Amino acid sequence: MPSRDPAGPLRDPANRVSPKAVRLWLVEALIAFALLVGISILIARWVGPSGWSWLPQWFADDPWLLPVGVGVLTTPFLVAEPFVRYAVHRWELSGDVVYARSGFLTREWVFVPVSRIQTVDKAQGWIERMLGLATLEIRTASHAGSSTIKGLDYTVAAGLAEELAHRAEELRDDAT
């Protein structure tokens, strides 16, 4: 008989990331898509005239199948990834714990005790800056206890970083 967790399944963190994060992840996916298709076009052009003997004959005859195949196989990920990530990525600051969930193909649940936080950083890549988004990086002494929340509105990230810094400082002062 399988054992059951008396607490039940993990509940979703309360807060979603910004809806603008869908655009961020779509732009990132488009850049990756363009790079993959571009590289496959370069490989197909390189393979085409050389007629490498170790390649299957059907590929040596039609190297354009490589970029077409790459495009066909990656398009569903390009379309689905931003929306799935938006549905999954959540965060919450409750009591003295930061709870974050993220992932696309795999899920990650992270609980970071505020008392363990050493640094809280905001980061903005150039696409995030254009969209008014930021990434919050919460670091502890243990890499396993650290967390990154990507896709937050810049003002939310700034406020959360300040709140976490104040709470962590208060808890450290109480411990001494």
Winning range, highest mean pLDDT, from 28-37, 59-68, 93-102, 166-175? 28-37
Mean pLDDT of the chain: 86
Q: If pLDDT is split at 50, 70 and 90, which confidence band does 1 have?
A: very low
Shared-domain flag, residues 120 and 48: no
Q: Which of 69, 86, 103 marks a domain boundary?
A: 86
Q: What's the number of CA atoms in the CB half-sphere (13 Å) around residue 105? A: 2
User: Does residue 7 form part of some domain?
Assistant: no
Domain boundary among 24, 52, 86: 86
Most distant CA atoms of the chain, gap in Å: 74
| Last residue of one domain, picked from the residues 86, 112, 130 | 86
pLDDT on residue 51? 59
> Is 11 a member of any domain?
no
For residue 39, what are its two tokens?
A: 């590289």
Q: What is the mean pLDDT of residues 137-160?
A: 89
Task: Give the model's confidence band at 49: pLDDT under 50 very low, under 70 low, under 90 confident, else very high.
Answer: low
| pLDDT tops 90 at residue 95 | no
Does residue 104 sit in the same domain as residue 167? yes
Q: pTM for the complete prediction?
A: 0.81
